[in-house]
Structure 1
């Protein structure tokens, strides 16, 4: 009888509301997939959480639905939708806008879980990475191209489409700062720990380089 009471007491302590239980599953799934990748089995995940696999599937009927939720929590929700508006706010000098964006973006997404899940997803060939890349390009990088055009007194992107090399210059910046985070948080390599200084220098080099690279017709040399 005493043992039965202990078991019931433990079950009572573990009985969570649906909202809390769902959050528990998602939070643990983020850590789990960051450690083992998307090949990790839901049976092992359920064991780590301390629940049964059928209970996990009650909240997420398929592993794909759980992965989609992890993607949303890790990659989409942390993004500040105000960033896009601030990139376009010409009351602030362009260099200050870009520096502010990448400082805030780095502080938000350059985390252990984010980087590992992103890399595991890419190695798996999962479409999540492609979704994220399209989102970053459409919401942030293409508007940056338009603002750089304006900054350099060049034709607008409405009158002249964005060239491949224009976009690549911004991907080089974006990817370079991402790899800084990989070196620091994944490889634990020696880096300059002043991330703000890294961003400021990268933006200044980008803008000076683009000014020198544009030709007189508003296109990129070798575009």
Structure 2
């Protein structure tokens, strides 16, 4: 029972006792929101206060702040990565432009999320390795396979004959960054950004493929 400012009394509902897995998930869910708002400079003591639990209660489930951040990475990033994306990029039975449109439409559905984007940015600013690990995954499963697929699309030498060069991969990072920047505008800058992305993705991919058809043969010839 508590006394309000006007002298009245009120009874606060008792917090429901949670089983250990439920408590752990509740801490994780709140940590995701907390880090998305405060960044990784936010302290677990403040997280505990925000949840109305003791600081030690967090460490009964997560032995360190680093362990909690690792679970955030697994839950927010790895769980949203679709195992079908790699085979989609590699499927040369369909035109690459079509595959890229499908990939980026599915990708934005997974990553255009307030907490996902802000944690990603805060991670890069604080040198937490969430950003670098995730970008390594993008490079290995999307960027480099897409570069190889583009070579095949244009009947250019395979990467086993002429290895990928930085100019090639940077072309694809440019496409990837163009799509992701819409999320940055929306969730970091709080600036107007389009909501219906289907046609915007189609335009971005089409412009990329047209430009690559003009530039890529020259790049590969120079590398070869």
Runs of 4+ in structure 1 deviating by more than 3 angstroms, as ranges, are 220-223
TM-fit CA distance, 1:135: 0.9
- Aligned-pair CA distance for 1:50: 2.1
Residue 135 of structure 2 is matched in structure 1 by: 133
Is the 8 Å Cα contact of residues 213 and 220 (structure 1) preserved in structure 2? Answer: no
Map 1:6-45 onto structure 2 (within 5 A).
Answer: 10=14, 13-45=15-47
Deviation at 1:210, TM superposition (A): 0.6
Ranges in structure 2 where 5+ consecutive residues have no aligned partner: 1-10
* Whole-angstrom distance in 2 between the partners of 1:191 and 1:52: 40
TM-score by structure 1 length? 0.90
Mapped partners of 2:113, 2:222: distance in 1? 36
Q: Considering only aligned residues, what root-mean-square deviation do their CA atoms show, in Å?
A: 2.0
Indicate conservation of the 8 Å contact 2:77/2:116, yes or no. yes
Structure 1 runs not aligned, ≥5 long = 1-5
Seen in structure 2, the aligned counterparts of structure 1 residues 222 and 90 have a Cα distance that, compared at 3 Å, is closer
Return the offset for 1:220. 6.6
State the distance in 1 between where 2:221 and 2:181 align: 25
The 3 A distance-change label for structure 1 pair 172 and 71 is same
The count of residues paired between Structure 1 and Structure 2 equals 214
Question: Could you say which residue in structure 2 is the equivalent of 1:3?
Answer: none
Q: Please report the TM-score for the alignment, with normalisation by the length of structure 2.
A: 0.89
| Cα contact 1:32–1:45 (8 A) shared by 2 | yes
| CA drift at 1:221 | 6.1
Pair 1:145–1:52, CA change in 2 (3 A)? same
How far apart are the structure 2 equivalents of 1:127 and 1:107?
24
Please say if 1:142 is aligned against 2:144: yes
- Equivalent position SS for 1:184: helix
| Counterpart pick for 1:47 among 46, 49, 66 | 49
CA distance in 1, matches of 2:164, 2:145: 10
Shift of 1:59: 0.5
Q: Indicate conservation of the 8 Å contact 1:141/1:170, yes or no.
A: yes
